[in-house]
Each structure stands twice: as C-alpha cells, then as structure tokens.
Structure 1
C-alpha cells in the first residue's frame, strides 16, 4: 500500500539488484581467496616435504674419510661437500626443480634451505600474476647406536 499523496514516489521503493551484486562479489572474492590460500598452503607443504627428504639424505651421507680415520662415535661425521652432494642426488632422483637450495652442517647436523617460486590459483587476482615464493628449512641428525 502506498503512503502519501498520489503521484509521489514511495521512499522505500528501489532495486535490490546492486545490493545482491555486491553480496555476490564479496562471496566470490572470499571463495577465490580461500582457494588461493589453500593452494599456497599445499605448495608450502610440498616444498617442506622435498626439503625434509633432502635433509634426511644429507644426514645419512657420512664423511667416509673421517669414519675410516677416527671411527664412528655417537653420531656420523658430516661435511658440507658430502651434504651438498647428497642433497643434489636426492633432488635429481626425485625429479624436483627448486629455484635455489643450500646445505649447511655443523659436523653432526645438516640444515637444508629450499626455495621455489610457484604460481597459485587466482594469483592473477591476488598477486598481480607474479608467482609466490615458498621457502622451507629442514634439519636432520643421523645418530648412531653406541
């Protein structure tokens, strides 16, 4: 029922279409954001998994010269060269491409840092089309039984 004088527009009349479109736009952005965040999370998990495997391979690569000269104590003696060779072999065997990686050792523990740039779903919307850089760090120690 119209209020007021005949011929005057109803102050409550109007289109709900703009409101519905804005609501749909917000919902779509939230859905796209959730998909992009999930994709970024899964990419991080994959890089972490690769890095974990490389660190374990490096921790199992003892310096044979030190082992033969001094024997094995409570832990395997590790060198940077042997760790880097083990990481390179592990990555090559897995067929994994990383942008960069590095291996450091304290002599008993190996720390591997892996970096890869990956495109994510809807990256064009949230990152301007640039890939997302994912970095993982893994450490491993190869203890021996005395």
Structure 2
C-alpha cells in the first residue's frame, strides 16, 4: 500500500513532539530551580532563627542588676546586635546583610543573602536570587 504524497498532514507530528519535550524540560528545570531556591530560603531562615534566639538570650545586665528580672529579660539594641554578630561569626555563616532590632523585650532579626541557584541563567538571566528571612524571639522568665 502506498501513501499519498500530497497529504498536507504528513510529517506534522515532529514539531508537536519537540514542543512537548521542550515543555517537559522547562518544567524539570523549573522544579529543580524552585527546589534549590526553597532550600536556600530554609538555610537563611535557620540561620536567622538561631541569631534571633542568641540575641534574645543576651540580657542587658545593667538593667537586670538595677531593676531585677520581671516576666521577660530586658534587651538592648547594642547587646542584640553584638549577640547576632557573635552567633554569625561562630557559625561561619556568610550573609550579605543583617539587622537586629528590639523593643526591649523581643528581638527581630532580618537576614539577607544573594544566592546563585540552579539554572539561574534560564530563569533569572544569570542574576543572583535574594533570599530574606525574618525571625523574632523573646526570652521569657518564670515569675
């Protein structure tokens, strides 16, 4: 049996198959890139959580000796920043920026890191991805 040579539909499946493979590849690459970005965010969040806990445990000794300990430890911005810097240095963690603020009872730490993820050339144009985490901690005491 011979196929007609003037069939306009003949050979039209190859472009469709190529497009399907392209879409599948982009989905795989996107999944890998998203997973990499998620893991980087988890790492930055973990570092930020540890720094916030360290800062919350750094009480203002002068206020403790002068007024005693109430329901929470008195915190100062300078002590919180020193504790965060010490925690980050001890852990060997590289952050691009961080800040520590306190209202006197609770410490809030913001950590930022710019990371290169898998296939960033495809999805980000080769630019690094910003990962920012915020953590708060309070050091309660028993009355």
- Check whether TM > 0.5: yes
How far did 1:108 drift? 0.3
Q: Which runs of 5+ in 2 are unaligned?
A: none
SS of the residue 1:138 aligns to? strand
Cα distance in structure 1, aligned partners of 2:76 and 2:5: 88
How far did 1:134 drift? 0.5
Matched, 1:75 2:88: no
Cα distance in structure 1, aligned partners of 2:123 and 2:111: 24
Aligned twin of 2:49 = 52
Provide closer, same or farther for how the CA distance between residues 89 and 8 of structure 1 changes in structure 2, counting only shifts above 3 A: closer
Aligned twin of 2:115 = 118
Cα distance in structure 2, aligned partners of 1:86 and 1:8: 79
Cα distance in structure 1, aligned partners of 2:103 and 2:5: 85
How far did 1:87 drift? 0.1
How far did 1:15 drift? 4.2
Aligned twin of 1:86 = 83
Tell me, yes or no, if the aligned pair for 1:2 and 1:10 is still in contact at 8 Å: no
> Of 98, 104, 110, which residue of structure 1 is paired with 2:95?
98
So what's the TM-score if we normalise by structure 1?
Answer: 0.93
Matched, 1:129 2:126: yes
Provide closer, same or farther for how the CA distance between residues 108 and 19 of structure 1 changes in structure 2, counting only shifts above 3 A: same
So what's the TM-score if we normalise by structure 2?
Answer: 0.95
Over the residues paired in the alignment, what is the CA RMSD in angstroms? 1.4
Aligned length: 143
Runs of 4+ with >2 A deviation: none
Matched, 1:39 2:36: yes
Q: Which runs of 5+ in 1 are unaligned?
A: none
